[in-house]
Amino acid sequence: MVIAFSGAGGKTSAIYAYAGKLVSEGKRVIITTTTHMQYPEAARGPLCTTADEAAAVLSSSIPGKQGMQAVCGRDAGTRGGIHRITGLPAGDFETCRRLCDDMLVEADGAAMLPLKAPDKTEPVIPRGTDAVVICAGLDSVGRKLNDVCFRQEITAELLYRDGLLTGKITADGNLTAEAASHLISVTDIAHILYRGYMELFISNACCRGTALYVLLNKADTPDFERKGVKIAEIIAELVKETTGSLCRPAGASFCGTFITSFYKEICRYEPYI
């Protein structure tokens, strides 16, 4: 199975947490990226730069009994103080897909910010992906748009179109002071995730057969957890508004929302719908 993680606010943490669960079940797991992700810490194991190196790491696994993970990519150097890797060449990527039981792919970048609306080239989802997980950080609630959002102008334009932002974008595409200081609400997050990501997957026939999930991370307090539930409820209503007018969804099928806290080592693997 290939699972692509997009959005912001904890993609890498989610990938490693889920990889740990799969490895504990005896699975062979490959972690990689189609964009960039942080260089793996030593505890994650060595970076595999070819499919042959990944095969060597996974060879010690015992199917169903002793799992193993391999992190695959190429050293992309340091940018903004962050050591990163980029993905493998297409041939090695396809070989790695066949080597493992599950491939977890970081398919989006957000400069370590908790919230994002993508541009037209994002996310970079591999062909044949089985599931897409769209992430957001609950710690963005109540904070200024220009402090927590990656692709701020795109985020502001999306919220303005949905009637959630009164400040307009200037003629040259920059944020007005009103837009920049807009405080992010639970409704904003639901609309950013739905309009920015989910709507395209649900309506695109090329995504038929793909499972679509939302992951709301950093539910580190009861208040944030309640906010996560509210966002999940709004997302469910937005999905109904779209799919209710169709005989069946044209593309991906929405399967629910995870509300998680990796800080507290809590992850609900049964999604909230």
For 77-113, write each residue's pLDDT tens digit: 998 888 999 999 989 999 999 999 999 999 999 999 9
Q: How does pLDDT run across 9-54, given as a tens digit for each residue? A: 989 999 999 999 999 999 999 999 999 999 998 767 789 999 999 9
pTM exceeds 0.85: yes
For the chain, strand residue ranges (E) read 2-7, 28-33, 36-38, 47-48, 68-72, 74-79, 82-86, 102-106, 115-116, 131-137, 149-150, 211-217, 253-261, 266-267
Q: What is the pLDDT of residue 240?
A: 86
pLDDT tens digits for range 165-221: 987 677 677 888 899 999 999 999 999 999 999 998 988 878 888 999 999 999 999
Q: What is the pLDDT of residue 246?
A: 43
Question: What was the pLDDT predicted at 251?
Answer: 85
pLDDT computed for residue 115 by the predictor: 98
Render pLDDT for 254-266 as a digit per residue (tens, 0 to 9): 999 999 987 665 5
76 has a pLDDT exceeding 80: yes
**Nearest partner of 105 among 113, 116, 117, 94, judged by Cα:** 94
